[in-house]
Chain A
Amino acid sequence: MAENKYITLISAEGHEFVVLREAALVSPTIKGMLRGPFVEAQTGRCRFEEIPSPVLEKVVEYFHYWYRYRDKEDVPDMEIPVEMCLELLQAADFFNLDAMQTHRNTL
């Protein structure tokens, strides 16, 4: 089955974010959703009812940031808005974007 190069993430408010599949696979959570007998795996659309748009937007930004720098040294830090920090932290936990894990998965 030919997989689409992009997948769609949908926020609580219904905003849709189109992401490079390979970049979004950093998240074990999304990987799990796309690798199973789930609707998400067939349609390539993942709905996140509990994540508001601004947070999901930032997460998507991170996906691409990660993808861009996946094998680089001296990576500049991504800017995290202070006011969004805690919410983003929760989202990071939800998406399982934990320390080191991301790197190992790609090796």
Chain B
Amino acid sequence: MSRQNRQQRRIVGPQSALTDFLASHNISANQIRLDAEARRRAAQIDDQQGDANTHSNGQSSAASPAASPAVDASPAQTTRARRSAGTSRREEEARKKEQKAIDKIKASKKFQKRKRGLADSEDEDDLARLLMQRSAPLPGQMENCELCGTRFTVTPYTRNGPNGGLLCNPCGKELAKDDAAAKKKVKRASGGAVGNRRQVQSKILDGTYSLGAKSLMTLCIETLAKNIDLAEDLGDLPPQIIDKIARKLSKHRLLNPTTLSLFLQPTAEEVCVYDGAKLGSDDFIRIFQTVPGLKKLKIRNGIHFRDEVLDYLISRHIRLEEFYIHGANLLSESKWKEFLQHKGDSLRSLCVYWTDKHFGNEVLSLLQTTCPSLTRLKVCHNQQVTDVGVAALGNLKSLRHLSLDLRNEIHPDVYVDLLSKIGANLETLSLARVHGADNTVLDAIHRHCRSLAKLRITDSEEMTDAGFVRLFKDWANPGLVFADLQKCRQLDSAHPRENPDGIGLCSGGFRALMEHSGKTLKHLNVHGCRHIEAAAFEEVFAPGKVYDAMTKLEISFCEEVTDFVVGSIFRSCPNLRELNVFGCMKVKDVRVPRGKILVGVPNAKGMVIEGDDDGEE
């Protein structure tokens, strides 16, 4: 307060703009002039002293102005102090400071190098002082820019120039720009910790997780998929690689009319369109135009695979052997019939997915006469086929693989009849979502099937444990490789735990299944078979029982599964890759052997444990 008043009272004469500016930055021009004079005077005195003493002791010129500015931030104070009190405390301090700096420099490597050839300590001191002078000024002091020569104030942010000097702000910014460009390139784009973790989880659930690096082929295909718009031609790559590229592209939804051309090679026999959602009817017709020797055609999401496409196919000489179509809801039943009548005789495999209304009993009935060599038939997610159509399949004596996933309820007797006719040769039998199928179907399988490798019966609410025991006990069929009996269980919301009738796959059936097929099973799914008891699991996976073939096991929602059972499974299945235990609430803390994946543990560790224990054995 008082100081302010005093300033206001002071009478001020005319000032230059520079003085005004400096004053606004708390710098007094007068002070600067005084300091400069003081320094000059001090220099004179030093010179005189120096002449008198010769320079026998190095300390005499300790506070010499030539050396001090670099170390001492307030030379003016020093000199003033000297003027007033000769050897005051401040001077002492400054001297000590400088001595310290000199010692430091003497210890430095640079000094040691330069020192070579200098004998006495005096020269050393001189050299040290020289080096000190050349060292960079501290923040707050002035310096000339190394590049443009402009005078500027040094700050902690001042950048170093290419030759070791300092740069002014504009030059520094210029330099930073070049540096930044180089730095950015080096920095890798990564999804961050969370992104990576999410990626790993996603891969585990996709079943594509593995330790170690990706294969070179995968890396190449990924790069290619990223830059597919640059590709004009894939060259003469082997078909299996082209197939891999096609899968990768479809996964990224990159297959469109332009990229489709890459996969249409006139010499090819197989075209797989894994995602045809972006293709129009013309594009599908183009497939037949460019690939005249087509034998295998696979189209997923072929929404625009319409009547006119089949019309075109019928008009050509192409004879398809394998036809896989998914989601072609716009094809009419009459066109299906026409197609089978014209092109059916060469067909060996026919897979039709998600065609709600237009692929029905009449089409299935036609297969007997039009497709004499059909070995594989899949009809999935179909709302049209009923008992009549399934019964008609009994006439297809050549059938080896049959998969049905129908929305209409089919009477068990129809299945029994079908199996008695064609069961003996079947290698694959897949009956998905057969709520009403009962033990008679199982008995028919037991009686007729002799070459099954893959068996799937899901969602049955009628089959009982006794039925499963009868199926697997003394079954003349060789061991299954793939068994999927998921959700064959009792459903009664009023008494969910009680199962007096033994509905579904329970302990007995599970024991019988493993007894019959344990040695050959690679893939077993008993998802949701809630009434398999812990004792059954423990007995099946007891010490000494080894299932070498097993690679994937799904026991989710089997309530009795405990840590002990999971441990036993890992011991009994040395080649197991993945074990699913979603909803097994008694699984708490399991040690997972290295390289195996346990999915679905209900704890905070997350849903997957990838083992890193080296196993207990």
Q: Residues on A close to B: CB < 8 A?
A: 59, 62, 65-66, 68-78, 80, 82, 85-86, 88-93, 95, 97-103, 106-107
Check A82/B217 contact, CB under 8 A, given A90-B237, A103-B210.
no
Contact A88 B220 (CB under 8 A): yes
Partner of B227, one of A68, A82, A90, A103: A82
B214 within 8 A of A: yes
Told that A73-B200, A86-B231, A98-B217 touch, could you supply 7 new A-B pairs with CB distance under 8 A? A71-B211, A82-B230, A86-B224, A95-B216, A97-B217, A99-B217, A102-B213
5 contacts between A and B (CB under 8 A): A65-B213, A92-B220, A93-B241, A102-B212, A102-B215
B212's nearest neighbour on chain A, judged by CB, is: A70
- Which B residues are CB-close (under 8 A) to A69? 212-213
Contact B213 A80 (CB under 8 A): no
- Which A residues are CB-close (under 8 A) to B200? 73-74
B245's nearest neighbour on chain A, judged by CB, is: A89
Contact A85 B223 (CB under 8 A): yes
Q: How far is the CB of B170 from chain A (nearest CB, A)?
A: 37
Contact B234 A80 (CB under 8 A): no
Q: How far is the CB of A73 from chain B (nearest CB, A)?
A: 6
- Which B residues are CB-close (under 8 A) to A66? 212-213, 216
10 pairs of A and B residues whose beta carbons are closest in the complex: A97-B216, A80-B223, A92-B216, A92-B217, A89-B220, A69-B213, A66-B213, A103-B210, A70-B212, A62-B216
Q: How far is the CB of B498 from chain A (nearest CB, A)?
A: 45
A66's nearest neighbour on chain B, judged by CB, is: B213
B196 within 8 A of A: yes
Q: How far is the CA of A72 from the CA of B157 in the complex (A)?
A: 41
Binary A-proximity of B8-21 (CB < 8 A = 1, otherwise 0): 00000000000000
Q: How far is the CB of B321 from chain A (nearest CB, A)?
A: 26
B211, B214, B222, B230 interface centre (most CB from chain A within 10 Å): B214
Partner of B234, one of A86, A102, A106: A86
Q: Residues on B close to A: CB < 8 A?
A: 188, 196, 200, 210-224, 227, 230-231, 234-235, 237-238, 241, 244, 595, 610
Contact A103 B211 (CB under 8 A): yes
A81's nearest neighbour on chain B, judged by CB, is: B223
Q: How far is the CB of B386 from chain A (nearest CB, A)?
A: 42
- Which B residues are CB-close (under 8 A) to A103? 210-212
Check A74/B215 contact, CB under 8 A, given A89-B237, A92-B220, A103-B210.
no
B220's nearest neighbour on chain A, judged by CB, is: A89
Q: How far is the CA of A88 from the CA of B235 in the complex (A)?
A: 12
Contact A74 B196 (CB under 8 A): yes
Contact B216 A100 (CB under 8 A): no
Contact B212 A75 (CB under 8 A): yes
- Which A residues are CB-close (under 8 A) to B214? 75, 77, 99
B193's nearest neighbour on chain A, judged by CB, is: A74
- Which B residues are CB-close (under 8 A) to A68? 213
- Which B residues are CB-close (under 8 A) to A88? 216, 220
Partner of A107, one of B196, B218, B230, B595: B595
Contact A101 B213 (CB under 8 A): no
- Which A residues are CB-close (under 8 A) to B213? 65-66, 68-70, 72, 75, 78, 102
B196, B213, B214, B234 interface centre (most CB from chain A within 10 Å): B213
- Which B residues are CB-close (under 8 A) to A86? 224, 231, 234-235, 237
Contact A77 B212 (CB under 8 A): no
Contact B216 A77 (CB under 8 A): no
Contact B215 A92 (CB under 8 A): yes
Q: How far is the CB of B542 from chain A (nearest CB, A)?
A: 26
- Which B residues are CB-close (under 8 A) to A100? 210, 215
Q: How far is the CA of A89 from the CA of B234 in the complex (A)?
A: 10
Q: How far is the CA of A73 from the CA of B193 in the complex (A)?
A: 13
Q: How far is the CA of A102 from the CA of B211 in the complex (A)?
A: 10
